[in-house]
Structure 1
Amino acid sequence: MSTPTVDIFIPCFVDQLYPATAMNMVKVLEKVGVTVNYNPAQTCCGQPAYNAGYHDQSRAVAGKFLSDFAAPAADAARYVVSPSASCVGMVRNSYSELFAGTPELAACRGVQGRTYELTEFLVDVLGITAVPGARLAGKYTYHDSCSALRECGIRPQPRQLLDGVAGLERLEMAETTTCCGFGGTFAVKFEAISVAMAQQKVEHALDTGADYLVSTDVSCLMHLEAYIKREKLLLKCLHVADVLASGW
């Protein structure tokens, strides 16, 4: 198939705290021949307000998302790609509730059907299982974020791509599907539980002997990295896009 044009959605966490991950996603997409478009007017998908129970406010933000990522009339098959399964899960699932019975429902369904997380877009849409030239020496273990696994059904895609990185070896951790403890405001409201869950996840990762802890979601990685740094542990957190952009 011919490679398409994609509109990239850069989540709040990535934009404000991990901009290099956004640039690495662009680097990877362009490497495989995709034309990348960025709409600078984009903001948030509305997930923080939605998860906090402010659905009216979330709907207003989500409505802007629908407008920002409406496909041009001449290119209705255009995709929306994001380096965050959490935001993709919000668009695919929670938008159905937010826009049920509203005039925006048809536009919502159109955007939902075109929105993909980076690794599933590369594997499921483009049929790519290895990024040419990607190289990183060491061993990695993979964290399945709740949103990727449970909301988007993403599990084999990132592993396929990471296993295609030259010099990198996968070591699966115990309880890889267990939550890391972040959960947005959960980490603030239930700090002790959240930290204990992060500790358990990090200990499982360390038990593998891996050098890197990799995931599709920087929100999980930010939470885990905070614990790792506090405890001065030798484990580096990387977003999958950062790994795929390494070595070339």
Structure 2
Amino acid sequence: MKRFLTMIFLTLSSVLFTRIEAQERVSTWSLYAEGGATMVHGLEMLSVDAAPGMNIFPEIGAGVSFDVRPWFRLGLNYDFSKYAREQRFSEFQPLEIPDGGEELAERHGGLAYARMWTHYHAADLTFEFNMMELWKNRNDKRFDLYVGTGFGWLFAKGNTYDISMGHERWSESYKETINTWLNAVNTRHKFNAGYVPILLSAEFDISPVITVGLQGNYKHLLDSGSDYVPKGIGTASAVLRINL
């Protein structure tokens, strides 16, 4: 039994790790899955004294690629993640003075806490070029380095939770009124936005069927006029690809 297991192990090892000869991938398909972490920048709402881990969130994705030539492929990609901001103020953030016929004599208080989160789905089409094909005479063709760009669309929704508190004194001709308030407001938001993806993917062929890699991806979002849309989303992930 021990000899049998040893033979199986040696056979699998020879399949997976034997030197891969140069293969011309022309008109072939591959499927991939990836997972990593993501971070956004350029939001109108900034983090203030936020809890640890409020700027980095896990990300998952999948896609399909079509190798037109060894140096060029098309990619159809999808990923899912979220981003959030939290504000814990050491001092009240003043609110706008409400409209009214009375005269506001004194006011103290304002926004004390705010938290915003947004989940998003992103899908894009990319045009990817294998930079390693510039070296046609390289001995080992297991390593590839793809750079690419394209166009995509982001679908997002989330909510913002605000807590404000304080007091105000109103003066009229014959009386004074003092109001003390504590308000908690939950506001939902939803938006769609186009983006331009920029990717860099380093990939290594373990076997003719299995490829592993590391990928960096940046989404430059187009201005949609919403305060909840960031300027960009950066992602770093590990990739497992199955070549069909």
Higher-strand-fraction structure: 2
User: Does TM, normalized by the shorter one, top 0.5?
Assistant: no
The interval holding the TM-score normalised by the smaller chain is under 0.3
Higher-helix-fraction structure: 1
TM-score (norm 2): 0.21
